[in-house]
């Protein structure tokens, strides 16, 4: 069965008891790991229990057609339901699961972790079409969803958050669920239990390194500032930030520009368009965002977003250095912002 993104959290909290196998996939590998672990713990609390938890490598499934059924039917020493965990799965093992769904055995819960899968990917479709399986997407937290994630994670530790602090955190987090959780854990250690997170608290705990550098990349790219873009990219490289994570941060920024530019096309001014965005534009970048709305129109923003989408694909699928691919693409977009080469407004 296919689980919609909005239903994933509810499913993870209360898995369908009729589901024997669950595929957790998507671009946010932190969320994939977190949700897969939660699903495993719904059956076995201690995942170090080697009698009830077994990890199977995809390569082992490929080489042994009977392995999945044998492990699913095995009985744990001492009793109890078992968990089978498969990490790093791909389309090459889709047939193994299709065969299992046709002839299921045992009662073990099978949890499969994978990266991004296209809508027609064999592994994804075989889980979506089976009545005893489920496919759970894990997309990058953003917008209102990211705000809710931040509130929930802080609330779990007894903390509340000021609106300004929430805006700041939403602007600087969200690329990966595990990264978001680690950054928020800094705040939990910093604030006394039952306290309220202020903007100053958020900046003190999260306002360093990677988030700031990637924010500088997005602003420089959309503003056409070559020198600032080169400097920011060098900082990201020094931080060890993956090229795909950087391009996704730029994509999110351009998506927000596209939404605001669409509101302006209907007659609103820049301030009204910016105030319609969720989360709101962070106050320190509002002036730059407003200037960028004077450079870009919806049509040219669509072109820029296509360039960024192609760049992400190239970073994943070619043998060329991904940082070089990223740098050339962002300079191309920055050139369009500076000179109007894609047909946008000139400064």
Can you give the residue ranges of every domain in the chain? 5-137, 143-206, 209-336
Spatial separation of the C-alpha atoms in residues 110 and 53, rounded to whole Å = 10
Spatial separation of the C-alpha atoms in residues 32 and 23, rounded to whole Å = 9
Spatial separation of the C-alpha atoms in residues 166 and 187, rounded to whole Å = 12
β-bridge mates for residue 15, sequence order: none
> pTM for the whole thing?
0.55
Q: By the 8 A CB rule, do 19 and 11 touch?
A: no
What distances in angstroms separate CA 250 from CA 172, 223, 265, 311, one per listed residue?
Answer: 12, 12, 22, 11
Is 5-137 a CATH 1.20.950.20 domain? no
pLDDT score for 129? 95
Tokens found for residue 241: 């930030």
What distances in angstroms separate CA 331 from CA 126, 262, 337, one per listed residue?
Answer: 41, 25, 10
CB under 8 Å to 96, separation ≥6 — which residues?
61, 62, 65, 68
Residue indicated by tokens 């229990």: 49
Instruction: Pick left, alpha or beta for residue 324 (phi over 0 → left; psi -120 to 50 → alpha; otherwise beta).
Output: alpha
DSSP state of 341: T
One of 1.10.8.60, 1.10.540.10, 1.10.730.10, 1.10.760.10 is the CATH number of 143-206, namely: 1.10.8.60
pLDDT in tens, the chain (347 residues): 999 988 998 999 999 999 999 999 987 777 888 899 999 999 999 998 999 999 999 999 999 999 999 999 999 988 899 999 999 899 999 999 999 999 999 999 999 999 888 889 999 999 999 999 999 998 876 666 788 888 888 998 899 999 888 888 887 776 667 778 888 888 888 888 889 999 888 887 875 544 567 788 999 999 998 888 998 888 888 777 788 888 888 988 898 899 898 888 888 898 998 888 877 787 778 888 999 998 888 888 888 999 999 998 888 887 788 889 999 999 999 988 876 544 444 33
β-bridge mates for residue 2, sequence order: 135
One of 1.10.287.990, 1.20.272.10, 1.10.3080.10, 1.10.10.410 is the CATH number of 209-336, namely: 1.20.272.10
pLDDT score for 341? 40
DSSP state of 160: E
Closest residue by Cα to residue 32 from 42, 40, 24, 20: 24
């Amino acid at each position: 069965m296919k689980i919609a993104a909005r239903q994933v959290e509810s499913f993870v909290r209360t898995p369908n008891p009729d589901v024997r196998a669950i595929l957790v996939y998507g671009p946010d590998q932190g969320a994939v790991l977190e949700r897969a672990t939660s699903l495993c713990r719904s059956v076995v609390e201690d995942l170090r229990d080697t009698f009830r938890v077994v990890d199977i490598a995809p390569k082992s499934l490929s080489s042994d057609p009977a392995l999945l059924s044998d492990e699913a039917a095995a009985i744990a020493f001492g009793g109890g339901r078992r968990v089978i965990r498969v990490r790093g799965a791909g389309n090459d093992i889709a047939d193994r699961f299709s065969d299992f769904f046709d002839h299921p055995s045992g009662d073990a819960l099978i949890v499969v972790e994978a990266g991004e899968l296209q809508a027609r990917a064999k592994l994804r479709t075989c889980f979506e079409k089976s009545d005893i399986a489920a496919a759970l997407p894990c997309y990058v937290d953003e917008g209102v969803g990211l705000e809710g994630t931040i509130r929930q994670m802080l609330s779990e530790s007894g903390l509340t958050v000021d609106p300004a602090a929430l805006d700041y955190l939403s602007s600087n987090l969200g690329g990966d669920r595990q990264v978001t959780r680690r950054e928020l854990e800094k705040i939990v250690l910093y604030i006394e239990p039952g306290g309220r997170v202020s903007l100053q608290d958020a900046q003190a705990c999260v306002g360093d390194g990677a988030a700031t550098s990637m924010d500088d990349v997005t602003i420089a790219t959309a503003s056409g500032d070559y020198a600032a873009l080169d400097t920011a990219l060098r900082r990201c490289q020094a931080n060890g930030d993956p090229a795909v994570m950087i391009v996704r941060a730029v994509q999110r920024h351009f998506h927000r520009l596209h939404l605001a530019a669409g509101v302006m096309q209907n007659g609103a001014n820049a301030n009204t368009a910016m105030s319609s965005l969720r989360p709101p534009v962070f106050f320190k970048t509002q002036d730059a965002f407003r200037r960028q709305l004077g450079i870009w129109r919806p049509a040219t923003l669509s072109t820029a977003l296509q360039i960024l989408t192609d760049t992400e694909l190239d970073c994943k699928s070619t043998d060329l250095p991904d940082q070089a691919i990223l740098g050339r693409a962002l300079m191309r977009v920055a050139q369009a912002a500076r000179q109007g080469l894609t047909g946008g407004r000139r400064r």
